[in-house]
Amino acid sequence: MSNAPLLYLPNSVKPSGEWARKSPPKPLHKKPSKKWLKHLEAFGRKVGVSAGGYMDDLSAQQKAIWLCRLCRHKFDYKRAHYFYEKNMRVRGKCDGCREFDVDSHLFIHESTIHAPGEMNRHGHVWTPR
């Protein structure tokens, strides 16, 4: 119920025709719904697709891969030409098991990395320490 006081009228008094209930104030800024925010998130692996096949698709497209600590050992990052930074952790859904983990491992494709001091070319987005 609202916090506004109630108005009690006696039976003999009737409100005029112009009297109407007060509408609630419109919000200044509308918050995005959770459904819309979920829509902006990457969909990930579809049901029925194996985790290994999905990893192969991601590595063929040279995309970054996030894996939890249980799925990390299943991915051969050297064979797939990926770089693994042991001290870097990310938070998100595992690409293998689709479980949310706050301590996931990030694998970056070698084509997006350049060495320190090297000339930065188009497509290079990350420099290891």
Q: What is the DSSP secondary-structure string of 30-90?
A: PPPPHHHHHHHS---SPTTS-HHHHHHHHHHTT--EEE-TTTGGG--TTTTTEEEEEEEEE
**Helix (H/G/I), strand (E/B), else coil: 17:** coil
Position 12: which residue type?
Answer: S
pLDDT (tens place) for every residue of the chain, 129 residues total = 567 667 777 777 776 766 666 777 777 777 777 777 777 666 777 778 888 888 888 888 888 888 998 988 888 999 999 988 888 888 888 888 888 888 889 898 888 777 666 666 666 666 666
pTM value > 0.75: no
Q: Bridge partners of 101?
A: 92
What pLDDT was estimated at residue 27? 74
Token output for 52 = 């290994």
Q: Which domains does the chain have, with CATH numbers?
A: 49-129 (3.30.110)
What pLDDT was estimated at residue 97? 86
Instruction: Show Cβ contacts of residue 109 under 8 Å, excluding neighbours closer than 6 positions.
Output: 59, 62, 63, 64, 81, 82, 83
